[in-house]
Structures are given as C-alpha cells and as structure tokens.
C-alpha cells in the first residue's frame, strides 16, 4: 500500500496546491510509492482549480499543476500517514478535528522539515499578494522538501518493518 501524504492550507487554491505539486514531482523523481494530494480547512473554493498565480508560479519553476480544491474532512485521518499543515492556524484547526492522539500525531507543519526555518514555521498566505509572494511560497516549500522526503522515507521503512 502506498504511503499517503496530504497538504492542508485554508482554501486549497494557493499554498497546499504548490506543496502538493512540488512534493509529487520529488517523489516521482525518486520513484517512491507515495500518494500526494491536498485540501483546505475551509470550503469556499471546493471544486475550483488552483489560483492562476499558483499555476503560473509552478509553471515558471517547471512543475506540473492539475488541481481541484476540496475541504479536509474529519473522516480522512485514517487515509493518511502524514498530514502537513502550511501554518500554525491550519495545525491548530486540524488538531482540533483529530479524533484521537494517533491521528493528531500525523499532523506536522511543513516548515518543520526545513532546518533553516528557525522559529518561523508558517508559510505565509500569498492570496492578497502578487507574483513575488507566490514565488516566495514556492521557495519555502522547496526548502522543506529534502527534510520531508527524509521523513517519508523513514515512515515507509518503519511501516514495512512492521508489516
């Protein structure tokens, strides 16, 4: 069974689709058996594609983007091995939704995986900004990829050791 990772932001049209596309690219490059998707804590954009500025930032960096926004649901905790929040607000909201401690333990902040992040672990919302804000989000996401890939490899190994 594939290892499953999801990224969660507010509306699922900016930050989490960027993280989803970048991470999917990396796991495919490495040939890892990982399913990657994303969702939002709110339902305002359910069914919408990613923000056009998100798509443009991804294309400029050479990443593919095919996305349909959806809202994270409490029942999904069992589906995922790792649930990645894009900021502290998402982290708190997801932990509040978690049905138990095991589910809550799956939730992590993306920037926890970036050793240069320091104490600022939020990926800022670029929605009310411009091109530079979306490019900055992409840079922050990319900086967390090596650490996240290491975490996922370790999780996959631990899971296969218990199989």
Q: What are the catalytic residues?
A: 9, 15, 125
DSSP reduced 3-state for 4: strand
| Contact residues for 130 (Cβ-Cβ < 8 A; gap 6+) | 53
Q: What is the DSSP secondary-structure string of 18-69?
A: HHHHHHHHHHHHHT--EEEEEEESS-TTTT----HHHHHHHHHTT-------
Pairwise CA distance, residues 23 & 6, whole Å:
10
Whether 40 contacts 9, CB under 8 Å: yes
């Amino acid at each position: 069974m594939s290892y499953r990772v999801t990224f969660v932001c507010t509306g699922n049209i900016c930050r989490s689709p960027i993280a989803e596309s970048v991470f999917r690219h990396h796991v495919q490059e490495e040939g890892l058996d990982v399913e990657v998707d994303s969702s939002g804590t709110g339902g305002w954009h359910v069914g919408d594609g990613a923000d056009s500025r998100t798509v443009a930032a991804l294309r400029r960096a050479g990443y593919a983007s095919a996305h349909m926004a959806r809202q994270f649901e409490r029942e999904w905790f069992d589906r995922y091995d790792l649930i990645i929040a894009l900021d502290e607000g998402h982290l708190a909201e997801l932990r509040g939704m978690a049905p138990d401690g095991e589910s809550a333990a799956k939730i992590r902040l993306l920037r926890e995986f970036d050793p240069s992040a320091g104490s600022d672990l939020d990926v800022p919302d670029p929605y009310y900004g411009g091109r530079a804000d979306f490019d900055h989000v992409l840079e922050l996401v990319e900086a967390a990829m090596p650490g996240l890939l290491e975490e996922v490899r370790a999780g996959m190994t631990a899971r296969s050791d218990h199989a």
